Structure 1
Amino acid sequence: MSNADRTFRTYVEENLDVLSSDPAHEAVVHQGRRVTAGEFRALVHRMARALRARGVAREDTVTLLSGNLPEALVARYAANLIGARVNHLYNKLSAESQADIVRDVETRALIVDPRYAERAAEVAELAPVPDVLVLGPAKLGTDLLELAAEQSDEPFASLARPEDACTIRHTGGTTGHPKGICTTFEQARWFRGVLPEKPGERRQLVATTLAHAAGAMADSTLYAGGTVVLLDDFDPAEVLAAIERERITDLFLLPPLLYQLMDHPDRPRTDTSSLRMVAYGGCQASPARIADAIRTFGPVLMQGYGQNEAGGISVLTQEDHDPDRPDRLRSAGKVLPDVEVAIRDESGRDLPNGEHGEVCVRSPMIMQGYWKQPELTAEVLRGGWLHTGDIGFLDDEGYLTIVDRIKDMIVVVGGHVYTTELEDLLNSHPQVLQSAVYGVRDADRMERVHAAVVRAPGSTVDGPELRAMVCAERGAMYEPAHLTFVDALPLTDAGKPDKKELRRRAEQEAGTAA
C-alpha cells in the first residue's frame, strides 16, 4: 500500500471519528429505538471483525437485502471498512431481478433484514452465495449480530484504498444483464459536499429507501453530527407525525411523494415549523406544485439534480425558489462547483445557450464505470465526459433546465413531444394534482402520446377539457391520444412515477381491446 493510500481516509472512517467525539449523542432513531453514536460506532467495528472472520475480504462484494434498519447502515459501514464493495438491493424488485443482480455482482455475502428472510431464501435459491448473514434471529443463514457480539469494539483499521469500488448501484428494475454503477471510495467523499450546510443541529427524516439517495444523505447527516430518523416506508401521515414528534429539520422526497405530503388532510394541523430544508429530486418536478409546496412549508425547498453515474450536477437553492417564477422553478438550478456541463447535439457539437441537446458532465464524482460492461462504459464516458441521456439547455444566467430523458422523448408526426413539458402544463390546471406522460406504440409502430392524470378531490375536469387546454397552449402535436384518470400513479421503489408500468398497462389494454 502506497503512502497516499495509508493517509487516505474513507467516508466511513471520517464519520466514525465524528461519532466518537460525542458517544452519548443520539445518532439513529427507528421505531422507538434510539441508538447512540457510541453504540453505532462500536457495532460497526464489531461487525467488521465478524465479516472478516467469515472470510469477507477487500474487493469482495457484500449485498444488502434490507429495509431502513440502523443495522443496515452499520453493515454498509462495516463492509466498506474491510474494503468490500456494497450493493444495496431495491426491495420491491422481483426475486428474479434481485437474483440476477446478486449473481452479476459476484456476491460473497448476502446480508439480510430478518423481515425479508422469505424473499432472501428465494433469492439465495436462484443465485446461491457463499454466506447468508441475517441482522438478527431468523430461520435462514447465520445471525450476524450474534457473531458481532463476540468481537472486540476496538477500532478496525480500514483496508480500503481510494481507487477501490465502494458501491455498486443498479438503476431501477433490471431486465437481462443488470446495469451496475461503480463508485470509488475517493468519489464517495465528494457526495457529502452537494447539500449546503445549515447552522444548528440537523435531524434528518429518512422516509425513502436507504438504497437510494437517502442513504448518502444519511451519511452527510452523521458526518455533520446530526441524527437520522428512519421510517420503514413512505406514508404521508407517518411522515407528518414524525416531523412534529422528532422536530425534523431535513427531509428528502421525490416530487410525487412531496405532493402526497402536502395534499394529506393531516398537514394543516401538523406542526412542520422545525423544517429547515426539504430537498427534492430524482425525477422531474411540476413548477405549479412546487410553488404550492413553498406556500405550504415556507422557504425551505431545495432541488438537487444528479445521477448515480454522475453524482451531483446542479442545485436550485432555497433562495431561487420563488413561487412567482415558474420559469425558475422549472429549472434544475445552477451547476455545482467542480462540475462542468456542456449541452451537445448528436454529433458532439457544443450548443449555445437556449438550445436543446444532451447534457454532458465532467466532474470528480463521475462513476468509475458500469460493472463488467466495458463497451457500455466506453459509450457513456466518451472523451472524459459522461453522457447523461438527459435533454436540457442552459440559459444566459447559467441555470440548467432538463426537458426529458432521450429514451422518454416521444417522436410523433411533426416533431418531438417532451414529456415533462406536457406534464408541467397538465399539472398547472387547478383541478390536477399529478400527471405522467409516456409514449406507447400502436399496431402500426407509431408512437402515441399517453397521459395518466390524478385529479384533485371533488374535481370535475374531464378529458376533453384537458385536451382543449393542451391544444390551445402547445398545439395539436402535444394533445394526448389517450388520457386516463387514475387514483394514484404507480411509483418505483425509489418513489419515481413508474412509466414502464403505465406503458405496460396501456399495451395490455390495447391488446385486450384488439
Structure 2
Amino acid sequence: MSRRELLDLVRAAVAGMRRAGVGAGTGVAVLTSVTPEAFAAYVAAFILGARVVGVSPGLSDRQRAHVLAADIDVAVVDGPDQVARLGPGNQLPVLSLGPGAGAVDVLAAEVDATEPLLAGGRPDDVARLVYTSGSTGLPKGCAQTYRALSARWCRQPDQWAAEDATLMAAAERYLLSGTLASAVILDYVLRCLLGGGTAVIPEDSTAPLFPHAIARYRITAAILPVPRLYAMLDELRQRPVDVSCLRALVVSGSPVSPRRYQEALTALGPVLYQDYGQTELGMISLLSPEHVAAHGDAALASVGRPHPDVEVSIRAEDETPVADGEVGEIWVRCPHMMSGYWNDPEHTAEVLSGGWLRTRDLGRTDRHGLLQLRGRTRDVIIVNAQLCHAGPIERVLATHPDVDQAYVLGVPDERTGEAIHAFVVPAGQTVPDPVALAALVRTELGEINVPSHLTVIRDVPQTANGKPDKRALLARHGGAAR
C-alpha cells in the first residue's frame, strides 16, 4: 500500500467518523487487528481531536470492562470478533472499518479529496489514554494531552537527535507485529513512516515471527520484548537462517542480561538497542551498539544514556538528589509525559510531584553518563515485558477457602524475563489445588499474573522486626516448587 493510498484511507476514516459524531473530546475505544485500516483509524481519531483508547487483546474480561467504562462514547472495530470483545450487553455505538461487523462502516463515507486535514484537538485536551498492564488488578489510564503528543520526539523528524536518526534510518523495512493498542508499537510504526520506511505486516500473524519473518521479508528493523529476543536466539541456534538484513533490533520491557547481549552480538551483529521506559511517558533511555562498542562491560550493565528529551534525577527517600554515582529512586520529566491517571487523583498524586514523575525504579548513573538499574521500590515482577504486582496476586490467592496466607515474588527466567513464584499456607489440612488457584488468579487479574511456580508451605520465615521474609522463603523452599 502506497503512502497516497494510506492517506486516502485516513481521509475516509475522518469523513466517516465525523459523520458519526466523533470530534474534539469524544472518547473512542479502538479494538482492531493489525491492518492499514486500523492504523488509519487511529490517525483519523487524532485528527478529529478525540480521546483515543487502544484496547489490548490481552486484557481479562473484568479489565476490558473497566477500560470501556472510562468515559468511552464509541467503539471502532474491524470485524465480528472485535465486536464480541465488547462483551455481552454492551451498549456502546459501534463503528466498523469495513462491512460484516453489523455496524456503521466508516470507510464507506464519501470523501472530498480537496478538503484539508486539519487537526481538531486543543492543546490541553487529552489525546489518548495509554493503559498500564493491569497487574494491580485494574489497569490505570495514563492521560497524554495533545500538547504532549505533539512534543513526542518521534513525531518531529526534523528534530530527531543523532541517535534517533541513526536508529530510524535502519527502518527501511520495519516488521509491524504485536498490537496497535500498544503505544510503543504505534509510535514505532509512526517513526518508520515519518522516516520514509515501509511497514511490513506478516501474512500469518500466528506463525513464529522471529527470526524467520526477518529472513522471509528482508526486515531491516523491528521491536520485541526481551523474552522474544531470547527465544529468537534459541531458534537461531537450533535452526539458523540468514538475518544479515537486520540493522536495528529494539528490545524493551526488561534489561537484557550481559551474557545474552553478547550472544546477540555474535548471532546478529551490532544491531541491538535496549529501550528502557514506562507507560507513563515512553522511552527514558536507550542503550545503543555504539555505547557497547565504546564502554564494553560498563554499557552492558546499564540501560544506556537518557534520551535528550528526558531529564533524569536520582533521589533519596526524602526526594533530595543523591551524590553522583549513588543509588536512589529514578525521577524523570519531559514534555511528553502523562498529565495524570484518568479519573484517579490518588494514584496521580503518588507519582507526580513538582512537574516530575517518580518511576519507582532504583538506579544510578555511572561515570560514562549511562543509567544503571538497581532494583525497584515497588514489589513488582516483569513477565514478558509486563509489570505484575505481587500484592494483588497475594490478595486474590488468599481469598481461596483453602488458603490462609499467600506470598508472591519474582525469580529470574530466561524465557519470560522473570517468573511469578507463589507460596501459600493452607487454611487447614486440605492442600490447595494449584489448578483452582491458577483459575482464580486468571479470572481476577488475567493470564499474565498466573504464577508459574506454586509451593505449599507450613510456616513463613520472618525478618528481625517480625515481617515475613520473602527472600528467605525462596531460599528455603525455592527448589520444592511445583
> Structures share a fold, TM > 0.5?
yes
Unpaired segments of 5 or more residues in structure 1?
1-34, 410-418, 424-435, 456-479, 483-496
Residues 1:245 and 1:450: Cα distance change in structure 2 (over 3 Å): closer
In structure 1, C-alpha distance between the alignment counterparts of 2:286 and 2:100, rounded to whole Å: 43
Shift of 1:277: 0.7
Structure 2 residue aligned with 1:135: 97
Decide which of 149, 152, 158 is 2:112's aligned counterpart: 152
Is the 2:78–2:97 Cα contact (8 Å) retained in structure 1? yes
Residues 1:266 and 1:140: Cα distance change in structure 2 (over 3 Å): farther
In structure 1, C-alpha distance between the alignment counterparts of 2:30 and 2:78, rounded to whole Å: 8
Structure 2 residue aligned with 1:401: 372
Decide which of 502, 506, 509 is 2:451's aligned counterpart: 502
Decide which of 197, 210, 223 is 1:226's aligned counterpart: 197
Residues 1:274 and 1:176: Cα distance change in structure 2 (over 3 Å): closer
Structure 1 residue 64 corresponds to structure 2 residue 49: no
Structure 1 residue 197 corresponds to structure 2 residue 145: no
Is the 1:62–1:87 Cα contact (8 Å) retained in structure 2? yes
How does the TM-score come out when normalised to structure 2? 0.76
Is the 1:315–1:332 Cα contact (8 Å) retained in structure 2? yes
Is the 1:171–1:180 Cα contact (8 Å) retained in structure 2? yes
In structure 1, C-alpha distance between the alignment counterparts of 2:42 and 2:101, rounded to whole Å: 23
Q: 1:37-436 alignment to 2 at 5 Å?
A: 37-104=3-70, 106-114=71-79, 116-117=81-82, 119-122=84-87, 125=89, 127-129=90-92, 131-146=93-108, 148=109, 150-154=110-114, 155-173=116-134, 178-189=139-150, 190-192=152-154, 193=160, 196-198=164-166, 199=169, 202-212=172-182, 213-231=184-202, 237-264=208-235, 269-322=240-293, 325-408=296-379
* 1:450-494 superposed Cα distances (whole Å, 9 cap, x missing partner): 636468xxxxxxxxxxxxxxxxxxxxxxxx998xxxxxxxxxxxx
Shift of 1:152: 2.6
Is the 2:171–2:221 Cα contact (8 Å) retained in structure 1? no
Point out the more displaced range, 111-120 or 327-336.
111-120
Residues 1:103 and 1:281: Cα distance change in structure 2 (over 3 Å): same
Structure 1 residue aligned with 2:437: none
In structure 2, C-alpha distance between the alignment counterparts of 1:135 and 1:315, rounded to whole Å: 36
In structure 1, C-alpha distance between the alignment counterparts of 2:389 and 2:117, rounded to whole Å: 50
Structure 1 residue aligned with 2:461: none
Residues 1:184 and 1:137: Cα distance change in structure 2 (over 3 Å): same
SS at match of 1:347: coil
In structure 2, C-alpha distance between the alignment counterparts of 1:91 and 1:331, rounded to whole Å: 32
Is the 1:68–1:231 Cα contact (8 Å) retained in structure 2? no
In structure 1, C-alpha distance between the alignment counterparts of 2:122 and 2:422, rounded to whole Å: 54
Unpaired segments of 5 or more residues in structure 2?
155-159, 416-420, 424-445, 459-480
Residues 1:184 and 1:231: Cα distance change in structure 2 (over 3 Å): farther
Shift of 1:447: 5.2
Residues 1:164 and 1:276: Cα distance change in structure 2 (over 3 Å): same
% same residue? 33
Structure 2 residue aligned with 1:413: none
Shift of 1:280: 1.0
In structure 1, C-alpha distance between the alignment counterparts of 2:342 and 2:222, rounded to whole Å: 31
Shift of 1:438: 7.5
In structure 2, C-alpha distance between the alignment counterparts of 1:245 and 1:499, rounded to whole Å: 30
Q: Which amino acid aligns with 2:449?
A: K
Residues 1:200 and 1:168: Cα distance change in structure 2 (over 3 Å): closer
Is the 1:170–1:178 Cα contact (8 Å) retained in structure 2? yes
Shift of 1:177: 5.5
In structure 2, C-alpha distance between the alignment counterparts of 1:128 and 1:163, rounded to whole Å: 29
Q: Which amino acid aligns with 1:151?
A: V
In structure 2, C-alpha distance between the alignment counterparts of 1:397 and 1:200, rounded to whole Å: 26
Shift of 1:323: 11
How does the TM-score come out when normalised to structure 1? 0.71
SS at match of 1:196: helix
Is the 2:170–2:247 Cα contact (8 Å) retained in structure 1? no
Residues 1:169 and 1:178: Cα distance change in structure 2 (over 3 Å): same
Point out the more displaced range, 74-83 or 167-176.
167-176
In structure 1, C-alpha distance between the alignment counterparts of 2:128 and 2:10, rounded to whole Å: 17
In structure 2, C-alpha distance between the alignment counterparts of 1:231 and 1:153, rounded to whole Å: 30
Residues 1:330 and 1:180: Cα distance change in structure 2 (over 3 Å): same
Is the 1:291–1:323 Cα contact (8 Å) retained in structure 2? no
In structure 2, C-alpha distance between the alignment counterparts of 1:255 and 1:200, rounded to whole Å: 20
In structure 1, C-alpha distance between the alignment counterparts of 2:301 and 2:80, rounded to whole Å: 40
Residues 1:405 and 1:231: Cα distance change in structure 2 (over 3 Å): farther
Is the 2:47–2:121 Cα contact (8 Å) retained in structure 1? yes
SS at match of 1:280: strand
In structure 2, C-alpha distance between the alignment counterparts of 1:210 and 1:244, rounded to whole Å: 23
SS at match of 1:166: strand
* 1:390-422 superposed Cα distances (whole Å, 9 cap, x missing partner): 11122222111123332236xxxxxxxxx89xx
Q: Which amino acid aligns with 1:222?
A: L
Point out the more displaced range, 328-337 or 184-193.
184-193
In structure 2, C-alpha distance between the alignment counterparts of 1:240 and 1:115, rounded to whole Å: 31
In structure 1, C-alpha distance between the alignment counterparts of 2:82 and 2:295, rounded to whole Å: 50
In structure 1, C-alpha distance between the alignment counterparts of 2:410 and 2:82, rounded to whole Å: 39
Shift of 1:79: 0.7
Residues 1:266 and 1:37: Cα distance change in structure 2 (over 3 Å): farther
Q: Which amino acid aligns with 1:196?
A: D
SS at match of 2:12: helix
